[in-house]
Amino acid sequence: MTAAVRLSPDAVLEGATVRLRALTRDDLPDLFDAIGHPEVFAGGWGGGPAAYRDTYEEWHAFILRYLAWKTGNVTAVLLRDGDRLVGTTTLGDFDLANGSAHIGWTAYAPEVWGTRVNAETKRLLLGAAFDNGFERVKLQADVLNERSRAAILRLGARFEGVLRHTQPRADGSWRDTAVYSILREEWPAVRDALDERLAAASA
């Protein structure tokens, strides 16, 4: 099967807790309320602590540059209870010739950290990627971001290694990137484990 970039702009992915749809410019004030906090940047997201902007105007300019608006499926993560926006994630970095994609650019409101939101969001996006024919889905994090790295491992992704000096952080230091992946042949077991985890979390 040939991998497809397709997540229709009108597509909605529904879980028990979250609803995923395309993030729009109209969502940005609500996204700022959700993730415009120093602790979101502290682990390395967005370029690290030095990338944090405390005014909406500066943050708005940053988020328009940072997210993969033109090349990825930039997604809004909403709680189904109240339809409140609590984060964003993206399926992007498409390499169709080799069936590869990347789930990243993920940030959530601190209040949903440690809940089922991330696991369910990734379950829905991974399912969409593999259903659309991808062979490999990459996930990655700043090597210093222990919280995100632990969350990626809990999803069932395999650690591949560390790429050194992949990009400068906002403070000018060089970021090393820890890379993980899930392959098509691994997805059924990963999917089943995620489903069991989510079922236990709602029990």
pLDDT in tens, 94-119: 999 999 999 999 999 999 999 999 99
Lowest average pLDDT, out of 5-9, 39-43, 61-65, 107-111, goes to 5-9
What pLDDT score does 9 carry? Answer: 62
* Structure confidence at residue 6 (pLDDT): 52
Cβ(180)–Cβ(140) below 8 Å: yes
Two structure tokens written together for 45? 């997201």
How many angstroms separate the CA atoms of 157 and 152, rounded?
6
Domain ranges of the chain: 13-195
Does residue 80 carry a pLDDT above 80?
A: yes
Residue 125 pLDDT? 96
- Please count the other Cβ atoms lying within 10 Å of the Cβ belonging to residue 41: 21
For the segment 149-164, the average pLDDT, to the nearest whole number, is 96
Round to whole Å and give the CA distance between 49 and 170: 8
Residue 2 pLDDT > 90, yes or no?
no
* Per-residue pLDDT reduced to its tens digit, 31-50: 999 999 999 999 899 999 99
Strands laid side by side in the 73-79 sheet = 13-14, 18-22, 73-79, 84-95, 100-108, 136-142, 174-183, 158-168
Task: Give me the chain's average pLDDT, please.
Answer: 93
Residue 3 clears pLDDT 70, i.e. is over it: no
The percentage of residues in the chain with a pLDDT greater than 70, rounded to a whole number, is 95
Match domain 13-195 to its CATH number in 1.20.1290.10, 3.40.630.30, 3.30.420.40, 3.40.50.300: 3.40.630.30
pLDDT in the model for residue 17: 96
* Cα–Cα distances in angstroms (integers) from residue 64 to residues 18, 59, 130, in the given order: 24, 9, 28
Could you tell me the two tokens for 41? 């940047």
